[in-house]
Amino acid sequence: MNTDLPRDDAGAAQGTAAAAPHGVDARARDTAPPHGGTTTNWRLRHDQDGVAWLTLDCAGGAVNTLSAPVLAELASMLDALDARPPRGLVIRSAKPAGFAAGADIDEFAALNGAQEARALIARGWDLFARLAAVRYPTLALIHGHCLGGGLELALACRYRLVADEPDTALSLPEVMLGIFPGWGGMSRLPALVGAPAALDMMLTGRRVDARRAAALGLADARVPTRLLDAAARHTVLSGKPRRRARGLPALLNRSPLKALAARQARKRIADKDPQGHYPAPAAIVDLWEHHDGNALRAPALLETILASDTARNLVRVFRLQERLKAHGKQEGAAPVTHVHVVGAGTMGGDIAAWCALRGLKVTLQDQDMARIAPALGRAGKFYADKLKDRRAARAAFDRLVPDPRGDGVAHADLVIEAIVEQLDAKRTLYRQIEPRLKPGALLATNTSSLSLRDLGAELAQPERLVGIHFFNPVARMPLVEVVRGPADDGGAQARACAFVGAIGKLPLPVRDAPGFLVNAVLAPYLLEAMRCVDEGLAPETIDAAMTAFGMPMGPIELADTVGLDIALAAGRELAGGAEPPRCLMQRVERGELGRKSGRGFYAWRDGKADKGKAGDAPPGLAQRLTDPLVARARQQLAAGVVSDADLADAGVIFGTGYAPYTGGPLHGERARGARTTE
């Protein structure tokens, strides 16, 4: 990647970056004239070239958030710089995690009324407009995450450089909280990268990495970490004009093409959310089209969105996610660096592939190479699609080692068993591998329904057995249930939670019980949907009703995806002795098992269900299907499978995709009850 740096600057950068902590420029640190300064959250220094280096380091936290005090201090720093303008200003972060995580969500959640909402928006809008208008050139030096208000801060600068590292990620994720980017992002991002790319980022919350940011023009360049300081100094003093979108993407920011782009965006929104459960995407399009992204010009819309039930519930979902992440940060837990997976089927192979993607050494065992080969083929394709960079994809693939003899068992910190769901088969495997486990190694099962008490009955050290239950497809499903066995004093579960967090998943601690949480609540939901088929409703009609409700996939398609044989077995285990639906029994008897056999309730082609046209759903169908799910979630909570209602909601949302706008099944039930009593 050519950063247009002079050779002597590049060499100097290598030396200073090696000697200075990340985010601290040695030349800036060593020369601090009197007009530098420090506040609680910012440090301002000037270097010998006349460049000001403004470092954000929010006190008392691992990440930077743009709270009211942080923004007030930034305003005071700009006052000082206005008094003695530098040749250029570089804004960066001292946090290893990244540039900035955005606004303080607690301030947003505490808003009380339209006046406070407008003040919060105005605070960032006015300050970033001021930054964008300063006389001297400005540059945001970005590493790690640069999200929401953090990206809006970077967009207010003339230039942006991003660290060419895998963890660099830029996004405007406000839509995922049911709100919109209010501090200038809806205006500056389309001007910079064009309407299509900007609308995609704003309407999905999708993150872009360093490579994509540079390709879009969101970043002026992606730069190796060791060269960031020198590249920033060179760029901010270069005198280059500010980047702007060009060609058709730029024309789509202007009338009459702007109206066309807005119309197309609204159509996509309506296709994905026909019931309008999520009002923020449509508001973003309206604000971009009619108000140049300035929510202060649309006070009624601003108040409606920020005060909506959807926004409150999505903030709740965000906090539930953060709580799950906290379970993955277990202080003092011995790290897992080598994982051995037994069973190279769809689940085992995909678990192994994911662990290798996340940097772990993985050995994958099955009876012979012929059984392992398909998993390696899937992994290779997955890495190529996910990582784009051939060297990174090759490195991930090299970490995934086929091991038909099981030599990795003796060296692994964690052995994950993902074989057939049969008690005797799993016990036989445990008898073979337990004597070979190294001291302190964990033995985990990916069982979805079998009791850990039964599985560990013959183990010499049953306290090391833990359930680590992934969901299919592994790469897409964020939740992993971590099941505490009866002999575990909590140490094995805690260490397993730390492992799950380390591989980028959300650990949900659960107690050993049939179906744990997620499968236990899914079973009655899926079975009720199939009983509707027995009554004559078309699968397409049922699925359409539930996707309109807000589910990511209808229950019939989900059953086909999971496998109808598995759905039948789980139903018998979890349905309390009720007779399985006739339509399910008939298809299993015919060998029509869903996607894996090519036919179930639907015919499957190239991994997609071939559906007919959906009919009109009878009134109350969504309520009928979700009632059993909510009731079972309540039962699992009462039985102590999870420790509280919030964790039950978190598990169902992130394990099944249950409509996030509701805030979760138990929360939604409480909210409905409150409304009926008003």
| Model pLDDT for residues 289-343, shown as the tens digit of each residue | 999 999 999 999 999 999 899 999 999 999 999 999 999 998 888 899 999 999 9
Confidence tier at 488 by pLDDT (50, 70, 90): very high
Over the stretch 626-673, which tens digit does the pLDDT of each residue have?
Answer: 999 999 999 999 999 999 999 999 999 999 999 999 999 999 887 766
Among candidate residues 618, 655, 617, 601, the one with its CA nearest the CA of residue 633? 655
Residue 552's DSSP bridge partners are none
Mean pLDDT of 619-630: 96
Residues 6+ apart with CB under 8 A from 22: 94, 96, 143, 225
Asked if the model's pLDDT at residue 31 lies above 50, the reply is no
Tokens of 112: 């009380």
Tokens of 636: 């699992």
Among candidate residues 546, 483, 549, 543, the one with its CA nearest the CA of residue 518? 483
Identify whether the C-beta of residue 153 lies closer than 8 Å to the C-beta of residue 125: no
Q: Kind of pairing, strands 400-402 and 361-365? A: parallel
Residue 26's DSSP bridge partners are none
Asked if the model's pLDDT at residue 115 lies above 70, the reply is yes
The CATH fold of domain 519-676: N-(1-d-carboxylethyl)-l-norvaline Dehydrogenase; domain 2 (1.10.1040)
Euclidean distance between CA atoms 567 and 573, whole angstroms: 10
Confidence tier at 32 by pLDDT (50, 70, 90): very low
Euclidean distance between CA atoms 646 and 635, whole angstroms: 14
Confidence tier at 37 by pLDDT (50, 70, 90): confident
Euclidean distance between CA atoms 341 and 444, whole angstroms: 9
| pLDDT at position 670 | 77
Residues 6+ apart with CB under 8 A from 528: 624, 625, 628
The CATH fold of domain 331-512: Rossmann fold (3.40.50)
Other CB atoms within 10 A of residue 511 CB? 18
| pLDDT at position 572 | 79
| pLDDT at position 389 | 83
Mean pLDDT of 449-456: 93
Confidence tier at 204 by pLDDT (50, 70, 90): very high
Tokens 């945001």 — which residue?
Answer: 140
Over the stretch 504-535, which tens digit does the pLDDT of each residue have?
Answer: 999 999 999 999 999 999 999 999 999 999 99
Other CB atoms within 10 A of residue 58 CB? 22
Tokens 């403004």 — which residue?
Answer: 54
Q: Kind of pairing, strands 361-365 and 221-223? A: unpaired
Euclidean distance between CA atoms 68 and 110, whole angstroms: 13
Asked if the model's pLDDT at residue 435 lies above 50, the reply is yes
Over the stretch 166-188, which tens digit does the pLDDT of each residue have?
Answer: 899 999 999 999 999 999 999 99
Phi-psi region of 113 (alpha: psi -120 to 50; beta: other; left: phi over 0): left
What single string gives the DSSP state of each residue in 483-549?
Answer: EEPTT--SHHHHHHHHHHHHTT-EEEEEES-TTTTHHHHHHHHHHHHHHHHHTT--HHHHHHHHHHH
What single string gives the DSSP state of each residue in 23-66?
Answer: T--HHHHH---TT-EE-SSEEEEE-TTSEEEEEE--TTSSS--B
Give the lowest-confidence range in 108-117, 180-189, 424-433, 466-475.
108-117
Tokens of 583: 């339509």
Residues 6+ apart with CB under 8 A from 608: none
Over the stretch 348-376, which tens digit does the pLDDT of each residue have?
Answer: 999 999 999 999 999 999 999 999 999 99
| pLDDT at position 673 | 61
The domain at 42-307 falls in which architecture?
Alpha-Beta Complex (3.90)
Identify whether the C-beta of residue 412 lies closer than 8 Å to the C-beta of residue 440: no
Among candidate residues 670, 672, 666, 671, the one with its CA nearest the CA of residue 637? 666
Largest Cα separation within the chain, whole Å, is: 83
Residues annotated as part of the active site: 448, 469, 481, 519
Confidence tier at 2 by pLDDT (50, 70, 90): very low
| pLDDT at position 8 | 30
Q: Which of residues 415 and 333 earns the better pLDDT score?
A: 415
**SS3 state at 302:** helix
Confidence tier at 28 by pLDDT (50, 70, 90): very low
Torsion over CA of 397, 399, 403 and 408, rounded to 10 degrees?
-170
Residue 525's alpha-carbon distances to 119, 335, 511, 565, 641, in angstroms, are: 44, 38, 21, 16, 19
Euclidean distance between CA atoms 348 and 342, whole angstroms: 7
Confidence tier at 36 by pLDDT (50, 70, 90): low
Other CB atoms within 10 A of residue 256 CB? 7
Over the stretch 136-154, which tens digit does the pLDDT of each residue have?
Answer: 999 999 999 999 999 999 9
Euclidean distance between CA atoms 143 and 175, whole angstroms: 23
Q: Does pTM surpass 0.75? A: yes
Phi and psi at residue 113, to the nearest 5°: 100, 170
| pLDDT at position 672 | 67
Asked if the model's pLDDT at residue 254 lies above 90, the reply is yes
Residue 601's alpha-carbon distances to 513, 585, 604, 611, in angstroms, are: 30, 12, 9, 9
Mean pLDDT of 458-469: 96
Residues 6+ apart with CB under 8 A from 83: 35
Asked if the model's pLDDT at residue 675 lies above 70, the reply is no
Euclidean distance between CA atoms 207 and 225, whole angstroms: 20
Torsion over CA of 226, 232, 233 and 235, rounded to 10 degrees?
130
Give the CA count within 13 Å in the CB-facing half-sphere of 45: 16
Identify whether the C-beta of residue 110 lies closer than 8 Å to the C-beta of residue 72: no
Identify whether the C-beta of residue 663 lies closer than 8 Å to the C-beta of residue 646: no
Domain borders along the chain are: 42-307, 331-512, 519-676
Q: Is the peptide bond before 473 cis (omega within 30 degrees of 0)?
A: yes
Asked if the model's pLDDT at residue 9 lies above 50, the reply is no
Asked if the model's pLDDT at residue 285 lies above 80, the reply is yes
